[in-house]
Structures are given as structure tokens and as C-alpha cells.
Chain A
């Protein structure tokens, strides 16, 4: 599934932690916004990890699901293009 995750966290330390977790699941596209392509299990794991971390009275995280046909209609102006996931070089 394709998920857009956005978060609003006031405390710097916790925001960095959230950012760091999200980097393991998807691509950072804008400040506080990630695009992730996940299986059900991966989504469940991500959700539970974030859930444990945030303080629900001050922070918020949103997951927007994109269906396959909407995912193809994303328009991007500027910024980073989606990363190619078939090969990585170091």
C-alpha cells in the first residue's frame, strides 16, 4: 500500500526520533512528510513503533492512504524525485 505520513511534533528530540524511524520505511519528501510503500505487516510495525513514541496530547501523526490509481496521479513540482528501488550503489 502507498501511505503518505505527516507529523506535527513540537519537541526537537522526539521529532528527530520519529524522522529516523520513518527513514527506514519510506522516502523523505518534505519537512515532516514521508512517502512510504509498505506491506500490511510493515505498516503495522511502523504504526506501533510510532504509537509507542509520541505523546498523544501534544503530537500528531497522520497516515493518508493512496489507492493504486491515485498513486499514479501524484504530481511533483521541484524537490526530489522518487528513488529507484531496484539497485543501490555504494
Chain B
């Protein structure tokens, strides 16, 4: 099963027999059977025919829209899964309950442990990199998580951990053509930030699918505050995957020189930096490869891909909320 990315601007996405047919200037550029798809992502502006929309919804294939800069716009979601029990458990745990504290501890621990692991691995790979001080600081923050019972303080720990991590992120980039000073968003004004933002947008598309499949209400989260139109639960569940999927990918692409400075363009007024069509293709192909890569899931004890692990983590969270298990194990890879 695969994902179709339509990045050709002003293309027409139509239906022929049981296939998606993408045309540009009256020429077919791709023709894919619906049975091979489990997601369609439209980047930029394209026309989607009504027949395609209804066929996608019938087949439970979500259709997401991302703008040219890689910013998530929204999606067409097939009917929400009818699992009222999961949603009820989700709502009952909201606020300052023991369950939500446990879950937030899990999300923060997962994220920071993966940050730490990424630093440890980079440290091991190169001799002239000294990250020992940063790793110790991260470890101190991680050890404080289990003793912290208030969600606000846990948010503070998460922020402190991220600050340490992004403070040394620049040293992880070996490619001399790229530099990272601090995290800049909306819009990202340098190539590294633009890659991170684009990656997080794609990750959000995938995690949101998983959250919807399991039957959660994506807007009620625990770590992120409730805000109008913000899918807090998706952002919560994303935390542990950020370093594993996106950050690792961005570092590989830059350090192995898959991406060059020519692959980026900058907008004159807002200074927003984004990928060119060619660069975007490189990024998307590698993102997809990353999602298909296999690892051994520490809790389930068997091999799975990152793509499957999004849904697995959502299911583990549902099990914990429903009381079937007594812990939520965040995904942490050694």
C-alpha cells in the first residue's frame, strides 16, 4: 500500500475505471489503482474531481492538503470510526487526572529519550563531536520526569529538554553548507528549519490518520493545551516520533549531501525558505523510505515499520485509557 503525492501544480486529479488519473496540460502524468493506495496528499493547488472524492471516502482513504511551503492545510477524512468507548475513555481522562499525568509523562519521556538516543548515536559515529555535557543535561531532565506529577511542570521539562537538544542540533550537521541557529517556524527562514517544518507536516498527516483509525477525538490532547482547531492529541502522539522519523531523516539528507543549497528557494518579502520541486521529490522519497524501514518494536517484540508503529502507539494509548493495560509505553528505540 502506498501514498500518492501530487505536487504538480494545476494538475487535474480524475477517476478512470477504478484508478486515479492525474493529468497535467491534458497529458497523463500518473495512473494508480485505488487498491494500491492508503493515502493521497495534494501539495499545492490541484483540481480534484468529485468522483475521486467520493471514491476515496468510500474506500476510507484520507485526502490531505499541504500548501507549496509544506504547511498543513487540512484533510478530507472518511467517516469517523464509531468507537464511542475509546472517545469516552479519552474524555474521562481529560484534565488533571492520574491517567493524563501518566500519559503526559509517557509522551515527554519518549520524546526526550529519543532525543538523547539520537545524540548518543551521533556522538558514537564521530570522534570530534563532544556532546557529553548535553547528554548529561538531558539525562537529568529525563530522571526528573517520573517524580513530576503536575502537567504544567512536565510541559516545562519538555521545553527544557527541547532547548538542550536544539541547542546542539547545529553540531550534528556536518555539511558545511547548512547551519542551524534556532528553531524558526511560521515561516521557516532557513533551509534546516524549512526541512524540519515540512517533515513535521507530513508526520502530522500520518499520525492523524492513525488517531482517526483507532477512533480518538483528535482535538482532545493531554500535553498540548486545548485550542480552537488544534488537533492536540495528534501533536501529543507525534512527540515521540519527531526525533525518530523527521530529525533523523533531515540529518541524513543534509550530512550525506542528498540535498544541496540549490534545492532551496527563498521568498523575497517573508524570507520563507522552501524546497524546489526537485528537492521536494528527494525529501518525499526518503521520507517514505524512512516510514517503510523496519525496526523491532520494544513492547510488541516483533518487527514493524514506522508507518505501522503510528497506529500501534495509538492503539496502546487506547488500551491504557480503557483500562486494559496499566501503563502507556512510549515508543523508545535504543
User: Which residue numbers of A lie inside 8 Å of B, CB to CB?
Assistant: 20-21, 23-26, 38, 42, 84-90
Contact = CB atoms under 8 A, between A and B. Distances in A.
B19 A24 contact: yes
Contacts of B285: 87, 89
Given A23-B19, A24-B19, A90 B11 contact: yes
Contacts of A23: 17, 19, 31, 33
Interface stretch (B2-10, B167-175, B189-197): B2-10
B17 A90 contact: no
Interface residues of B, number: 30
A75 B18 CA distance: 29
A88 B36 CA distance: 10
B19 A90 contact: no
A87 B34 CA distance: 13
B276 to A, nearest CB: 14
Contacts of A21: 17-18
Contacts of B133: none
Contact of A89 (B24, B36, B284, B289): B284
Of A21, A24, A88, A90, which is in contact with the most chain B CB atoms at under 10 Å from its CB? A90
A90 B8 contact: yes
A38 B284 CA distance: 27
Interface in B1-41: 1-8, 11, 16-19, 22, 24, 29-37
A84 B1 CA distance: 10
B171 to A, nearest CB: 32
A38 B37 CA distance: 13
Of A38, A42, A84, A85, which is in contact with the most chain B CB atoms at under 10 Å from its CB? A85
22 contacts: A23-B17, A23-B19, A24-B17, A24-B33, A24-B35, A25-B18, A25-B33, A26-B33, A42-B35, A85-B2, A86-B1, A86-B2, A86-B288, A86-B289, A87-B2, A88-B30, A88-B37, A89-B281, A90-B4, A90-B8, A90-B22, A90-B29
